Amino acid sequence: MTINKRYSRDHAACKVTFRTGAKSEVPPKTVSLVGEFNDWDSSSIPMKRGKDGCYSATLELPCGKSYEFRYLLNDSDWQNDQQADRYVPTPFGDSENSVVDL
């Protein structure tokens, strides 16, 4: 899993590409990007599968903020990004959310 940030010249916005790896015995059939930037809506940002089997999605987000997020695999398995800027506990107390700082 990787996060790639491309800032605008004026640093007002950043294009963030979220990418998950496909290196597993049973690759997921679906992956969604879910977080504060889409009000935790699990259906609004389905990630696209590339020829290499990895899933990705690119968002343009305002700078100067931090966004909590997670990946939802097969509509049931929540995963964090190993390259997140940091992690914070969820309100549920049994897991953490990934955070991207812009």
Complete domains list, the chain, with CATH: 2-101 (2.60.40.10)
* pLDDT surpasses 90 at 1: no
Structure tokens at 47: 């990630």
pLDDT category, 23, cuts 50, 70, 90?
low
Q: How far is the first Cα of the chain from the last one, in angstroms, to the nearest whole number?
A: 18
CA 7 to chain CA centroid, Å, is 17
Per residue in 28-42, pLDDT (tens digit) is 899 999 999 999 999
CA 84 to chain CA centroid, Å, is 9
Per residue in 44-91, pLDDT (tens digit) is 999 999 988 899 999 999 999 999 999 999 999 999 999 999 999 998
Spatial CA neighbour of 71 closest among 8, 9, 21: 21
> How many residues does the structure list for the chain?
102
